[in-house]
Amino acid sequence: MIEGLIIGLVAGLIAGWIMRGEGYGCLWNIVLGLIGGSVGGWLFEKLGISWGGTIGTIGTAVVGAVVVIWLYNMIRGKK
- For 3-15, what is each residue's pLDDT tens digit? 888 888 888 888 8
DSSP state for residue 24 in the 8-state scheme: -
pLDDT mean over 16-37: 79
Domain count, the chain: 1
Higher-confidence residue: 59 or 23?
A: 59
Range of the domain at 67: 2-76
Rounded CA separation 15/69 (Å)? 8
> Which pLDDT tens digit goes with each residue over 51-70?
888 899 889 989 998 998 88
Alpha-helical segments (H) within the chain: 2-20, 26-47, 53-76
CB–CB of 34/4 below 8 Å?
A: yes
- Which pLDDT does position 22 carry in this prediction? 64
